[in-house]
A = this chain, B = another copy of it.
Amino acid sequence: MASHGGRGRSGGRPTLEEVAARAGVGRGTVSRVINGSPRVSDATRAAVEAAVAELGYVPNTAARALAANRTDAIALVVPEPETRFFAEPYFSDMLRGVGAGLAETEMQLLLIFAGSDRERQRLAQYLAAHRVDGVLLVSVHADDPLPDLLAQLEIPAVISGPRSAGETLTSVDSDNYGGGRSAVEHLLSRGRRRIAHITGRLDVYGAQRRVDGYRDALRDAGHEPDELLIEQGDFTEEGGRRAMTTLLGRHADLDAVFAGSDVMAAGARQVLREQGRRIPEDVALVGYDDSAIARHMDPPLTSVRQPIEEMGRAMIDLLLAEVADRRPAASRGLERRQAVLPTELVTRASS
């Protein structure tokens, strides 16, 4: 067996130097071949590749990281407890997109949960140590200090839902405004006129934009939006129930509800049923997210689909570009980069 403890084990993994000796070239040349530099003759490249194969050479990541001052790793930071991460298909979809984009590189993805204070503390240390080349941030609250920390450390980062219209980080978002519009336009086209809206938490920028879309769609159709038809929810089922109850109390004659999430739509549906309103005959219902809930609801729920997987893909592409530039976009004084992906209305029996 190869082992003799401690350092200087000679039977261990081959080094660049050994590959160079075997191929009859210098260290630098091997390095160039390994890293795909074009400034190597074909014959030399072939000789080096043969030596690499014969010796089973695999570069030492730590040495490379030390010398090159990069880690070839990026982190997906989830500022939530792990439980939520697994519960929501959102993350798994996004991860798939990220994974696809990363599969084409040598980069390694780290999944970091920062739900508790303790975990956040650790994360800060982690980032301060520059253990990753870049960071992907998902579901960040408006008052989270993380984006600022990242900016200060000059670590490239991409955020999945901008915190505000003035988001400084490179961001990827779905078209919440357009999503809100399309839901309302759809309801209008179905002949609905008294369309209520249950919003998400309004400290979430995307939820605000959905409201904007709702209002503008009505205005463009010649209906001045009635603020009493808008009620704030909080993305929960219970919040949906509460908002729906309030809305029915104020506007017994409403004929459609656009909920800012499928979960809230589920809550609204319960209240509508309890009060004897038929869906969609009496009240049409539209949700947001096109989650499993929407497909399994009775009746199946019309909902606005966000291209989560594509968003993950866009995030990683933008991040890799910033990492390649070796600095965050913001610190170069360049225009902010952002990608906004289109949503799609999935029509089902509820509307």
What is the interface of chain A, defined by CB distance below 8 A to chain B?
1-3, 5, 7, 13, 56, 58-63, 65-66, 69, 71, 82-83, 86, 89, 91-92, 95-96, 99, 103, 108, 110-111, 113, 118, 125-126, 128-131, 154, 326-327, 331
Closest residue of B by beta carbon distance from A88: B86
Q: How far is the CB of A198 from chain B (nearest CB, A)?
A: 28
**25 sample A-B contacts, Cβ–Cβ < 8 Å, listed by A number:** A1-B154, A1-B331, A3-B154, A3-B331, A5-B326, A58-B125, A58-B128, A58-B129, A59-B129, A61-B65, A61-B129, A61-B131, A62-B62, A62-B63, A62-B65, A62-B66, A66-B66, A82-B95, A83-B92, A86-B91, A86-B92, A99-B113, A108-B126, A110-B110, A111-B111
| Given A3-B154, A110-B110, CB of A63 within 8 Å of CB of B66 | yes
- Which of A66, A91, A125, A126 lies at the interface centre, i.e. has the most chain B CB atoms within 10 A of its CB? A66
Contacts of A5 in B (CB 8 A): 326
Contact A66 B71 (CB under 8 A): no
Contact B59 A82 (CB under 8 A): no
Taking each of A13, A62, A113, which has the highest tally of chain B beta carbons within 10 Å of its own beta carbon? A62
Chain B residues lying within 8 Å of A86, measured Cβ to Cβ, are 86, 89, 91-92
For the complex, what is the distance from the CA of A241 to the CA of B151, rounded to whole Å?
A: 57
> Chain B contacts of A58 at CB under 8 A?
125, 128-129
Which of B13, B96, B126, B130 meets A13, CB within 8 Å?
B130
Contacts of A327 in B (CB 8 A): 3
Question: Which B residues are CB-close (under 8 A) to A60?
Answer: 66, 129
What is the chain B residue whose CB lies nearest that of A71? B62
Task: List, in ascending order, chain B residues with CB within 8 A of A59's CB.
Answer: 129
Cβ-closest chain B residue relative to A326 = B5
* Residues of the B chain whose Cβ atoms lie less than 8 Å from the Cβ of A71: 62
Scoring A1, A61, A111 by chain B CB atoms within 10 A of each residue's CB, the highest score goes to A61
